[in-house]
A and B are shown apart, each in its own frame.
Chain A
Amino acid sequence: GQQVMQIPQYQHVQEGEDFTTYCNSSTTLSNIQWYKQRPGGHPVFLIQLVKSGEVKKQKRLTFQFGEAKKNSSLHITATQTTDVGTYFCAGSKVYQLIWGAGTKLIIKP
């Protein structure tokens, strides 16, 4: 079946450093969505990418969708303590989302 792989599992950064998470699908995706889940919280929708090669920005966050629509990335510039949480990608399959395992962003003290 369709799988969505996400790496790395964890990323430890100093505040102010950049963070990147990568997502790869075994099949072509119609679209990909990104969510953030704070510790003890629920997923919060960040963005949806639909077009091949699409790049979208939200302040310090940059989202990319690959040309083949099988991979995606999220890059955060100059991380802040408010960025802490787990970032999930999720590929659409008919009426369900197939989720990656998430990348946990940890800010080093």
Chain B
Amino acid sequence: DAGVTQSPTHLIKTRGQQVTLRCSPISGHKSVSWYQQVLGQGPQFIFQYYEKEERGRGNFPDRFSARQFPNYSSELNVNALLLGDSALYLCASSPTGEGGYTFGSGTRLTVV
């Protein structure tokens, strides 16, 4: 069975640009969560979606947005990129949005 897949794996963007990251959850999982992990720190919660509805939002600016599609895949969008947005962006899926999460390998975003 395929795990959580994220694309792209690596990305380099310039300050001020916009980026879209993609995630496909494990088959049957209806919940997708997004986390940002800066080197040397624990992941920080950005969003959780369940059945296409936003169920939670972390302490991130409005430049960050996300959505979930009918097939439960998800996109994370970040506008007006700042140098501080450079991080590993992790997608996690679970059947209901609770319990243990399965993480994808992440997208490493570098803003220059």
Which residues of chain A come closer than 8 Å to B50, judged between CB atoms?
Answer: 95
* Cβ–Cβ contact A33 & B100, under 8 A: yes
Q: Is B65 an interface residue (CB 8 A)?
A: no
> Chain B interface: which size bin?
20 to 34
Q: How far is the CA of A6 from the CA of B43 in the complex (A)?
A: 13
Which residues of chain B come closer than 8 Å to A95, judged between CB atoms?
Answer: 33, 48, 50, 55-56, 97-98
- Among A44, A47, A99, which residue has its beta carbon within 8 angstroms of that of B43? A99
- CB contact under 8 A between A42 and B105, given known A95-B56, A100-B42: yes
* Cβ–Cβ contact B42 & A44, under 8 A: no
The listed residue with most A CB atoms (<10 A of its CB), out of B41, B42, B88, B98, is B42
Contact with A along B94-112 (1 / 0, CB 8 A): 0001111111111000000
* Cβ–Cβ contact B56 & A96, under 8 A: yes
> Chain A interface: which size bin?
20 to 34
Q: How far is the CA of A79 from the CA of B48 in the complex (A)?
A: 35
* Cβ–Cβ contact B90 & A90, under 8 A: no
Q: Is B58 an interface residue (CB 8 A)?
A: yes
Since A33-B100, A43-B43 are in contact, a sample of 9 more A-B pairs with Cβ atoms closer than 8 Å, ordered by chain A residue number, is A42-B103, A42-B106, A43-B90, A43-B92, A45-B102, A47-B100, A95-B55, A95-B97, A99-B42
